[in-house]
């Protein structure tokens, strides 16, 4: 049985699981016509009249074949002597972003990307109805080293604890808010927009920034200019369209001017506020946390010494290169 175990010396959770059988992915099980190979679909946007688990979809969500987290498992939290253990009850899903096998975020048109964003929202809203799910990560990789090219998808991972990175981020945002009574991200946006040097692209609803302390060259954050703690509540016809356009032009720029590098995109949104365990958990989260998207280019090239990232390309230089590339045809 798989287990989430906590390392009490680091306060860090580890998933212990015996290795599952690896299933080679050829022919592609995510292409139209192969719907029967994926397990029953969880959700899909379809052209009128097309049937579930058949072609005719534009965005489709399926269970991950070798899932880390499963909804049918019972949630058990227990102490093992001095240690803490939780069963990995949750969900592992793939959002198949396009029927076209060779699509990337740089080739999909903005309408297709907008459909993917709406599906992110639908899955977050649906999974957050389950009070045992505490946190949901949506991420996607492009050209992950060691992984053969594959059909474009985003991964949804819903778990019964808060991800370590989310917890750290929530803690920092709350600390800042308790001291200043302002949102850390709103303050950062104001300052970065005024300073201009790390802004790669400014739109009415969103800013693409190269963060002040970028961990790797080319790290970019897409931050909404309107405050809100959760992506799923912030998505409207207008923000959906604007965000899809910005992502489309960002990834086209990366592909065209920066040699189409590999990247990881992660959606940072509030955890499941229904799953509070302690009274007072996240009491000010609606004011102190600000959803956003982080994109790390070549995450595998991150260079660290004792946990400190070493970045040899100043963020200001990356921002200026991105700015120029965004604006050139
Ligand atoms: Zn395919
Ligand atoms: Zn804010």
Residue 269 lies in a domain: yes
Cα 189 to middle of ligand 2, angstroms: 8
Average pLDDT over residues 169-185: 97
Long-range contacts formed by 24-31: CB under 8 A, 24+ apart: 25/148, 25/150, 28/101, 28/150, 28/151, 29/65, 30/60, 30/62, 30/94, 30/96, 30/101, 30/150, 30/151, 30/153, 31/99, 31/101, 31/151
Ligand number nearest CA of 38 is 1
Q: Say how many domains are in the chain.
A: 1
- In this structure, of 15-19, 114-118, 241-245, the range with the lowest mean pLDDT score is 15-19
Compare 212 and 147 and report the one with higher pLDDT.
212
Cα 130 to middle of ligand 2, angstroms: 26
Cα 30 to middle of ligand 1, angstroms: 5
**pLDDT recorded at residue 27:** 83
Rounded-to-integer distance, Cα 256 and Cα 319, Å: 16
Rounded mean pLDDT of the chain?
Answer: 94
Distances, alpha carbon 224 to alpha carbons 56, 104, 239, 270, in Å? 33, 23, 9, 14
Q: Reply yes or no on whether the pLDDT at 276 is more than 90.
A: no
- In this structure, of 228-242, 258-272, 300-314, the range with the lowest mean pLDDT score is 300-314
The set of residues, in sequence order, having a beta carbon less than 8 Å from that of 24 and lying 6+ positions away, is: none
Ligand number nearest CA of 60 is 1
Cα 100 to middle of ligand 1, angstroms: 7
Distances, alpha carbon 193 to alpha carbons 20, 137, 176, 177, 181, in Å? 48, 28, 20, 20, 21
The set of residues, in sequence order, having a beta carbon less than 8 Å from that of 109 and lying 6+ positions away, is: 248
215: phi then psi, degrees, rounded to nearest 5:
-75, -30
Cα 170 to middle of ligand 2, angstroms: 12
89: phi then psi, degrees, rounded to nearest 5:
-80, 130
Ligand number nearest CA of 289 is 2
Residue 58 lies in a domain: yes
Instruction: Using CB atoms within 10 Å of the CB of residue 12, give its burial: 0 to 12 exposed, 13 to 18 middle, 19+ buried.
Output: exposed
Rounded-to-integer distance, Cα 46 and Cα 217, Å: 39
Residue 73 lies in a domain: no
Cα 25 to middle of ligand 1, angstroms: 9
Distances, alpha carbon 237 to alpha carbons 19, 233, 240, 261, 328, in Å? 42, 12, 5, 30, 28
Ligand number nearest CA of 29 is 1
Ligand number nearest CA of 185 is 2
Write out pLDDT tens, residues 80-89: 999 999 999 9
Q: Reply yes or no on whether the pLDDT at 25 is more than 60.
A: no
Ligand number nearest CA of 150 is 1
Rounded-to-integer distance, Cα 307 and Cα 309, Å: 6
Cα 211 to middle of ligand 2, angstroms: 16
Q: Reply yes or no on whether the pLDDT at 10 is more than 60.
A: yes
Cα 161 to middle of ligand 2, angstroms: 24
Angle at 48 between CA 46 and CA 53, to 5 degrees: 45
Residue in this structure with the two tokens 């946006």, named with its chain if needed: 189
DSSP 21: P
Rounded-to-integer distance, Cα 64 and Cα 94, Å: 6
Cα 57 to middle of ligand 1, angstroms: 13
Q: Reply yes or no on whether the pLDDT at 327 is more than 90.
A: no
Residue 10 lies in a domain: no
Cα 286 to middle of ligand 1, angstroms: 39
**pLDDT recorded at residue 66:** 85
Residue count (the chain): 329
Residue 97 lies in a domain: yes
Q: For residue 263, what are the domain limits? A: 21-65+90-327
Cα 48 to middle of ligand 2, angstroms: 39
Average pLDDT over residues 296-305: 92
Residue in this structure with the two tokens 């405050």, named with its chain if needed: 227
**pLDDT recorded at residue 15:** 94
Ligand number nearest CA of 291 is 2
Residue 12 lies in a domain: no
Cα 105 to middle of ligand 1, angstroms: 15
Cα 262 to middle of ligand 1, angstroms: 19
Cα 50 to middle of ligand 1, angstroms: 19
Domain of 124, CATH number, reads: 3.30.428.10
Residues 53 and 42 sit within 8 Å (Cβ to Cβ): no
Cα 60 to middle of ligand 1, angstroms: 12
Cα 13 to middle of ligand 2, angstroms: 28
């Amino acid at each position: 049985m798989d287990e989430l175990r906590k390392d009490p010396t680091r306060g860090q959770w580890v998933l212990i699981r015996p290795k599952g059988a690896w299933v080679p992915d050829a022919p592609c099980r995510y292409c139209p016509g192969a719907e029967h190979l994926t397990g029953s679909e969880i959700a899909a946007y379809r052209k009128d009249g097309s049937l579930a688990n058949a072609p005719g979809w534009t965005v489709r969500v399926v269970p991950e074949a070798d899932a880390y987290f499963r909804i049918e498992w019972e949630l058990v939290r227990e102490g093992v002597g001095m240690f803490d253990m939780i069963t990995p009850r949750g969900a592992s899903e793939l959002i198949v972003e396009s029927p076209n096998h060779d699509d990337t975020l740089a080739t999909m048109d903005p309408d297709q990307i907008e459909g993917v964003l709406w599906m992110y929202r639908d899955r977050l809203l649906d999974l957050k109805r389950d009070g045992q799910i505490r946190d949901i990560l949506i991420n996607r990789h492009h050209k992950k080293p060691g992984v053969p090219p594959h059909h474009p998808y985003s991964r949804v991972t819903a778990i019964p604890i808060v991800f370590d990175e989310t917890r750290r981020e929530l803690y920092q945002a709350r600390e800042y808010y308790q001291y200043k009574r302002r949102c850390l991200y709103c303050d950062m946006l104001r300052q970065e927009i005024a300073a201009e040097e790390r802004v790669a692209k400014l739109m009415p609803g969103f800013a693409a920034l190269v963060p002040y302390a970028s961990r790797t060259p080319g790290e970019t954050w897409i931050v909404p200019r309107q405050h809100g703690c959760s992506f799923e509540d912030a998505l409207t016809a207008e923000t959906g369209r604007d965000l899809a356009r910005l992502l489309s032009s960002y990834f086209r720029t990366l592909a065209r001017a920066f040699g189409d590098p590999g990247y990881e995109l992660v959606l940072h949104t509030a955890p499941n506020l229904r799953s509070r365990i302690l009274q007072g958990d996240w009491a000010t989260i609606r004011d102190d946390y600000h959803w956003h998207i982080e994109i790390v280019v070549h995450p595998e090239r991150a260079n660290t010494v004792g946990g400190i990232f070493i970045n040899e390309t100043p963020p200001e230089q990356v921002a200026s290169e991105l700015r120029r590339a965004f604006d050139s045809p």
